[in-house]
Amino acid sequence: MTPVSPGGDPRAPRESSTVVLDRPFFARPPEVVARDLLGAFLVVRAAGVIHRVRLVETEAYGGRDDPASHAARGPTPRCAVMFGPAGHLYVYRSYGVHWCANVVTGVEGSASAVLLRAGDLVSDDAPGGSPPAALRGPGLLTRAVGLTGAHSGADCASGVTGSVWFERPARARRAAWRATPRVGISKETDREWRFVLDVPREPRRGGVARRPR
């Protein structure tokens, strides 16, 4: 990671104004929240550095009515956060290796959530900073911004005073999106609750775009 520039950079590109997503935003059905999170930004503040990820892929998970959900069999020590109020993070360990981050949605007790599957890491405002990185997969996304199980239960719907929150551009246009079956599950596979930004065309530069050096 690039260290914070001490004097600030007057040439830092100025983002257009953004709106912080509040609790009513999350207190809606998971498939609605999942779709509306596409194009929004996950913001994580860790050790004085702010990471911003533009979300491009999400998945909705229900509660007891969804066999593919961790909450299908009721609250456990791991997924208890899902049964709490909306707008809190639910971070769990996947295959003993990766961290996966969700936001709790719906009315309290419905135990629904949205899994953050992929995004684009926005470069920091440091001059010559690292270019945007494509974070494909929930485990890579959490690792890039430093989200771990320690963040599970954190409230990310009470403004920018915490360490995690969500933003969306004030002049938000409805982005084109696509719904598909969820990835990596074996139950309820016909439910199309995976949402991805519908990119017009993948920039294909005539075959393998290997970066020369």
Positions in the binding site for DNA (CB under 7 A)? 59, 61, 68-71, 73-74, 76-79, 82, 90, 92-98, 100, 102, 113, 115, 136-141, 149, 182-187, 208
Nearer residue to DNA within complex by CB, 125 or 195 = 195
Q: How far is the CB of 114 from DNA (least distance, A)?
A: 8
Nearer residue to DNA within complex by CB, 5 or 189 = 189
Nearer residue to DNA within complex by CB, 172 or 183 = 183
Nearer residue to DNA within complex by CB, 34 or 125 = 34
Q: How far is the CB of 164 from DNA (least distance, A)?
A: 16
Q: How far is the CB of 17 from DNA (least distance, A)?
A: 31
- Are the C-beta atoms of 32 and 193 separated by less than 8 Å? no
Q: How far is the CB of 183 from DNA (least distance, A)?
A: 5
Dig out the tokens for 196 from the structure: 């991805």
Q: How far is the CB of 28 from DNA (least distance, A)?
A: 17
The CA radius of gyration of the chain, in Å to the nearest whole number, is 18
Nearer residue to DNA within complex by CB, 39 or 139 = 139
Q: How far is the CB of 82 from DNA (least distance, A)?
A: 7
Nearer residue to DNA within complex by CB, 23 or 64 = 64
